Amino acid sequence: MSAGDSSPAGVLKVAVDCPLRALLDYLPPPGMLATDLPAGARVRVPMGTRSAVGVIVAHAAHSQLESGRLRPVTELLDATPLFDAALLELLQWTASYYHHPPGEVCAAALPAALREGQSATAQEQGLQLTAAGSAALAAGEPQRAPRQRELLALLAAHETGLSAAQLEETWPGWRAAARALGERGWVELVLREAQPAAAGHAGGALSAAPTPVLELSEPQARAVAAIDACAGRYGTFLLQGATGSGKTEVYLRLVMRALERGAGALVLVPEIGLTPQLLERFRSRLGVPIAVLHSGLSDRERLAAWRAARAGVARVVIGTRSAVFAPLQTLGLIVVDEEHDSSYKQQEGGCRYSARDLAVRRAQRAGVPVVLGSATPALESLHNANLGRYQQLPLPRRADQAAPPRIALIDLRAHAVHAGLAGPVTQAIERHLASDGQVLVYLNRRGYAPTLLCTSCGWIAPCTECDARLTVHRGAAQLRCHICGAAQPLPTRCGRCGFAVRPVGQGTERIAETLAAMFPHAPLVRLDRDTVHGADDVEAVMNALLDGSARILVGTQMVTKGHHFPGVSLVAVINADQGLFSADFRAAERLAQTIVQVAGRAGRGTRAGEVLIQTEYPEHPLLQSLIHSGYEGFAADALAEREAARWPPFSRLALLRASGCTATAALDFLRHARDCAGPAPAARLLGPVPASMARRAGRYHAQLLVEHAGRGELHHFLDHWLPAIEQLPDARRVRWALDVDPLDIQ
């Protein structure tokens, strides 16, 4: 086969929004050279019988295809590139690292409207004077229509014409006059580029009153100086600061320095960490428009924020996971707050990228510093710091803050337990309430009870679509599946024998009921996904605690996400044992992070806090190292264990997930995938096995884990394996996806 024909006009390599794992070749439009169309701009292209939107990634002299089979692009959609060279390179790297179709990666980085081909710049209607109009005005026309004449004169005074919006405001009823003038060819309506507004979500904070500037502690000042000294070149900094050590103040100072240099900053926060308080703090301190990008925005809001960032109207972008692809005019700094948070990793659907890892990559390519902040860094990040790749900057509690909380384990086997609460915990709650403290009760299980049990035959209410028990929701009088969302009325009788049923175990709803009965004078609030549906609900809960109208907070994982509860003096962890004996090697890390993050909510303000952890396994080594040597001690032990077991970061993983309509379909497909892997002596293929919750929403899930000692080898293996998997006959009969660096391997 020949290397293909060369085209005199050159060839465009286009990432088209479709599930193909390759760039597609197109010719430039007739009469143009490929190089006339800039890389990073969108084009509309023919795809079979339909048309699609793609991004030009590169130019080439030749194509592997015969020139007769190449088709020209239909339309160039952007005169200037949407992605600059560094961002385009990041997108290509993302597609190759996560082995995902490049067109889908590029599309995911764009607001929906741009994916569909709409203009990247905001358009507005404008009214302009024509040459004939100028002449008419000079000749004193139109003599008998003073309003029309007035409009002509107004337009003549504005060289670039006036926008419809401006006219609407100053000249109500202008359209009738404009129509009459238009008919005579004296004015014309044009569609033109509008400057993105620095309003709404894109900023609008210029009038906010400045908040008092805190003086930096010595460690804060040292961190700012170290990172600031890196301005203009790449470096990754691991800012390890306990809760209340002032990480946000460090971020703020660094963003200000970047702005002073004329550069912009990208700040990533976890999905749930983007609170109105945080935004307000950034807005009032920075005094510049900020573009905010998160999953709760409407398509229009997202487009407006994206345009504001790209146009340089907003030089600071704050956002969740997908904001890592935000266009910034001049990037000077990247911050990843709570870098250990699992919401940075796309877990389902699409390209399963890690925004934290991509942030480091982006900083590297852009030659700017990146700050990873956390009280409980991911073990991967600590490992990189140990190897000297990341510079560790410890940020101890500020001197004007309370001493770290006293942490104690409460042995559930050694004490009387009433409704899920051990005696010492109940007594401690009473003591703290009596001395004006507030109490945080943490339980990572929402609903009333995780199980509905028949007291006669032992029947347990199951989900008919999943291998899951149904959770009792008493207030809503429902049984709900937390896996697939199915709901049904709460039965009073056993579904099998008709005898009485009773809820077994504890959920936040039930613990709250118990505490309300035990402490009737202490108002209580709950923070979980059943009671909180948006930022406003979170704010209401926080305000109730801040103004003291609530004394007890019962909550799930949500309480650990950067919310500040300065009045909380006691934290009770109801059940630490979920996660101690999991098949997932990351479960221990997640448990340790949760305990430290929850404990960090205690004793802010001036008094030292108390943390009580209920467990049936107080002698467990993980809990022991956490209690006696803190998160650092735990992390050192956990990293040694990972090294011995060859788990990441001492190896690299990829997980091939599949689901089918029958229990065997997914497993058979994975078996065939395993068989076509070919000889790869250094790879460990583990499985296939059914997922720990095999049946979910009526589909059967299974997985095959691939482990390699090094990143390069793993990717070399995947490069050869994936095309073979795509050729398998059953690859079209099941749903399957590859997850590189999976977070959750159960």
Q: Which residue bears the tokens 């573009």?
A: 291
Q: Specify the DSSP class assigned to residue 559.
A: G
**Positive/negative CA dihedral, 30, 31, 35, 40:** negative
| Closer residue to Zn ion in complex, CB, 462/621 | 462
Query: From the CB of 287, what's the least distance to Zn ion, in Å?
Result: 49
Residue 470 vs 638, nearer CB to Zn ion:
470
Helices (H), 336-482: 355-366, 379-386, 423-434
CB of 466 to Zn ion, least distance (A): 3
Minimum distance from residue 462 beta carbon to Zn ion (Å): 9
- Least separation in angstroms between residue 555's CB and Zn ion is 24
Name which of 219 and 507 has its Cβ closer to Zn ion. Answer: 507
The per-residue b/e assignment along 31-49, b for 16 or more CB within 10 angstroms, e otherwise, is eeebeebebbbbbebebee
Q: Determine contact, residues 17/104, Cβ cutoff 8 Å.
A: yes
| Nearest-approach distance from CB 602 to Zn ion, in angstroms | 36
In the bound state with Zn ion, the residue whose beta carbon lies nearer, of 499 and 581, is: 499
Which residues contribute to the site for Zn ion (CB under 5 A)?
454, 456-457, 459, 463, 465-466, 481, 483-484, 486, 494, 496-497, 499
Instruction: Pull the structure tokens for residue 425.
Output: 């915990």
Pairing relationship of beta strands 438-442 and 421-422 according to DSSP bridges: unpaired
Give which of 581, 587, 584, 532 is closest to 561, Cα–Cα.
532
Number of other CB atoms surrounding residue 471 within 10 Å: 27
Q: Could you tell me the smallest distance in angstroms from the CB atom of residue 502 to Zn ion? A: 11
Q: Give residue for tokens 């390759």.
A: 22
Between 247-260 and 276-286, two packed helices, what is the crossing angle to 10 degrees?
40
**Which is nearer to Zn ion, 475 or 491 (by Cβ)?**
491
Tokens of 546: 């801040």
- Residue 154: how many CB atoms within 10 A of its CB? 18
Please identify, using beta-carbon distances, which residue of 300 and 496 lies nearer to Zn ion. Answer: 496
Q: Which is nearer to Zn ion, 384 or 659 (CB)?
A: 659
CB of 477 to Zn ion, least distance (A): 18
Which region, left, alpha or beta, applies to residue 590 given φ > 0 means left and ψ of -120 to 50 means alpha?
alpha
Token pair belonging to 61: 């002299």
Return the number of the residue (496 or 720) whose C-beta is nearest Zn ion: 496
Phi, psi of 562 (to 5 degrees): 75, 10
Residue 315 or 696 with smaller CB distance to Zn ion: 696
Tell me how far apart the alpha carbons of residues 135 and 184 are, in angstroms, rounded to a whole number. Answer: 12
- Residue with smaller CB distance to Zn ion, 479 or 512: 479
Q: Which is nearer to Zn ion, 182 or 495 (CB)?
A: 495
Tokens of 41: 């701009």
Least distance CB 456 / Zn ion (angstroms):
5
Which of 361, 469 has the CB closer to Zn ion?
469
Structure token pair of residue 67: 């020139």
Amino acid occupying residue 677: A
- Beta-bridged to residue 135, according to DSSP, are none
Question: Do 377 and 238 touch, CB atoms closer than 8 A?
Answer: yes
Residue type, 536: D
Using CB atoms within 10 A of its CB, is residue 675 exposed (0-12), middle (13-18) or buried (19+)?
exposed
| Shortest distance (Å) from residue 487 CB to Zn ion | 10
CB of 443 to Zn ion, least distance (A): 21
Please identify, using beta-carbon distances, which residue of 41 and 454 lies nearer to Zn ion. 454
Identity of the residue numbered 642: R
Nearer to Zn ion, 225 or 693 (CB): 693
Shortest gap between Cβ of 464 and Zn ion (angstroms)? Answer: 8
Shortest separation between residue 419's beta carbon and Zn ion, angstroms: 24
Structure tokens at 37: 């169309």
Q: Give the C-alpha separation, 20 to 353, whole Å.
A: 18
Identify each DSSP E strand in 114-261 by its residue range: 123-129, 162-163, 187-193, 235-241
Q: How far is the CB of 65 from Zn ion (least distance, A)?
A: 47
Smallest gap from residue 452 Cβ to Zn ion (A): 11
- Tell me the sheet residues that pair with 571: 440, 611
Q: Secondary structure of the chain: what % helix, strand, coil (to 5)? A: 35, 25, 40
CA distances from 37 to 14, 33, 57, 70, 328 (A): 11, 7, 10, 17, 22
